[in-house]
Structure 1
């Protein structure tokens, strides 16, 4: 057994997020599993950039209400207890609604050298507004 004490909270980098996002690392990739997991907290209106994962991503919402969107315009509204699986290679984004905080545990499996995430451009305010109307 290994007891790992709480990790410091870090502000999400502006080159990957819009708005105020805070991260606590839960697991860093180690062989053979290569799991990366983090608790990610989004303030109202905050969201990730578009991104994809080589091996997909699983998001488990722990608090609040948020949105997960894809390039084809699909949007799901998520709440505490919901889990969303994003398939490998799918461009997507996730974040809080405009009025509510949202927190989730984000999990990805990398290849041992990286977590397999490809970060892309920000989700525009127009894309976000459309997602709010759909979600």
Structure 2
């Protein structure tokens, strides 16, 4: 057993995120064959990821605020603290905070055999796509 050093909080890059988003790594592979990656991700109101997919899927567990998770078919799911959303392998999706609330979630995934292919980043989510949830008025 070993205690791991606490990695620094990083601000996520604007190429992959709209708005202010910060990431605190929690778990990363320590030995060959390990795949688990976990991070606490904090989104300012209306901040969101770009469209992306994960080779082995992704699980998002909301810690605080209101999360929005959208898919290419136009569905936008709302998740609140204690709720979990699963995005299957290869599903193009985005996630972020509602317009009025900060949001934190645990992002959990497994690295692909080639870690460089774990996440495929695509174009930014448009304001119209973000506002697709029928209850949003942004």
On whether the aligned pair clears a TM of 0.5, the verdict is yes
1:23 equivalent in alignment to 2:23:
yes
| Separation in 2, partners of 1:85, 1:112 | 21
Given candidates 108, 117, 120, the residue that maps to 2:119 is 117
TM-score of the superposition, structure 2-length normalised? 0.90
User: Which structure 1 residue ranges, 5 or more long, are not aligned?
Assistant: none
Q: Deviations over 1:71-116 (max 9, x none)?
A: 0011110111111110000000000000001100101111343161
1:10 equivalent in alignment to 2:14:
no
Give the 4+ runs in structure 1 shifted more than 6 A: none
The residue aligned with 1:131 is 133
| Separation in 1, partners of 2:28, 2:69 | 24
Closer, same or farther: CA 61–35 of 1 in aligned 2, 3 Å: same
1:97 equivalent in alignment to 2:104:
no
Structure 1 contact 26–39 (Cα < 8 Å) conserved: yes
The residue aligned with 2:58 is 57
TM-score of the superposition, structure 1-length normalised? 0.92
Cα distance, 1:51 vs structure 2: 0.3
Structure 1 contact 29–112 (Cα < 8 Å) conserved: no
Q: How many residues are paired up?
A: 134
Structure 1 contact 97–132 (Cα < 8 Å) conserved: no
Root-mean-square deviation (Å): 1.5
